[in-house]
Amino acid sequence: MDLEFLQTVDPQILVGVAVAVVAIAIGAIFLFSSKKPRGVLDPENFRDFKLVKRTQLSHNVAKFTFALPTPTSVLGLPIGQHISCRGKDSQGEEVIKPYTPTTLDSDVGSFELVIKMYPQGRMSHHFREMRVGESLAVKGPKVQGLFPQ
Ligand SMILES: Cc1cc2nc3c(=O)[nH]c(=O)nc-3n(C[C@H](O)[C@H](O)[C@H](O)COP(=O)(O)OP(=O)(O)OC[C@H]3O[C@@H](n4cnc5c(N)ncnc54)[C@H](O)[C@@H]3O)c2cc1C
């Protein structure tokens, strides 16, 4: 850059330009660092999530913790919406039911479902049989207000 040119410019303009450059740089850093991570859910296709922990809360209620693909992944489910979970009933037939995670997108790396399992329930059977290390097929978000499948 021609420094002689700078000597001809009003110092106040130089200070103004410098302040503007610094402000834009700070704004860009803030924008990129506060960018929300994208969720891993797909509303169209089921994705498998591995069960990493199962905690029995009562005789028929358990908390299931599923791992997300990376420790910094978020599920990506807006508040008030729910997911569809796919499993097999006691006859081996496919069943899909809606569930609401008890975790939020501020929770990274995993998500939790608290499930009440009914003796005759079709999806209840799937959750009752699920063991740590197995995967659950999940898709979403599923918009509130639609009838459960
Ligand atoms: C938006 C939404 C979110 C949901 N989130 C959750 C959640 O986070 N956790 C959760 O545990 N469930 C949740 N549910 C309920 C869930 O979708 C299933 O309906 C439930 O797990 C029972 O499914 P099933 O296939 O085991 O029972 P089904 O095969 O549908 O029912 C078989 C039998 O189970 C018994 N049964 C089923 N549902 C009930 C009930 N509600 N009350 C009493 N008896 C019943 C009855 O005897 C029934 O005849 C949610 C439902 C909706 C609509």
What pTM, to 2 d.p., does this model score?
Answer: 0.80
Tell me: pLDDT of 1 over 70.
no
Which CATH number goes with the domain that contains 96? 2.40.30.10
Range of 64's domain? 47-142
Ligand 1 centroid – CA 45 distance (Å): 22
User: Per-residue pLDDT tens for 63-120?
Assistant: 999 999 999 999 999 988 999 999 999 999 999 999 999 999 999 999 999 999 999 9
Mutate which of 85, 113, 124 to test ligand 1's pocket (most atoms within 8 Å of Cβ)? 124
**Has residue 3 got a pLDDT over 70?**
no
Burial class (CB in 10 A: 0-12, 13-18, 19+), 120: exposed
Q: Which residues contact 147 (CB under 8 A, 6 or more apart)?
A: none
Domain count of the fold of the chain: 2
- Residues 98 and 83: beta-carbon distance below 8 Å: yes
Let me know whether 29 and 54 are in one domain. Answer: no
| Nearest atom within ligand 1 for CA of residue 99 | 5
What are the distances in angstroms from CA 96 to CA 62, 114, 139, 148? 19, 16, 10, 9
Does some domain include residue 39?
no
The verdict on 10 and 63 lying in the same domain is no
Structure tokens at 84: 């569809």
Please check whether residue 149 lies inside any domain of the structure. no
Please say if the pLDDT value at position 10 is more than 90. Answer: no
Looking at the fold, whether 63 and 130 belong to one and the same domain comes out as yes
**Ligand 1 center–CA 1 separation, angstroms:** 71
pLDDT for 105-139, tens place per residue? 999 999 999 999 999 999 999 999 999 999 999 99
Q: Answer yes or no: do 82 and 107 share one domain.
A: yes
Alpha carbons 75 and 106: distance in angstroms, whole number: 9
* 120 assigned to some structural domain: yes
Does any ligand 1 atom lie closer than 6 A to the CB of residue 82? yes
pLDDT at residue 149, rounded to an integer: 45
Burial class (CB in 10 A: 0-12, 13-18, 19+), 137: middle
Q: Is residue 53 part of a domain?
A: yes
Output the pLDDT for position 12: 83
Assess whether 73 and 26 both reside in one domain.
Answer: no
- Are 20 and 51 in a shared domain? no
pLDDT at 148: 53
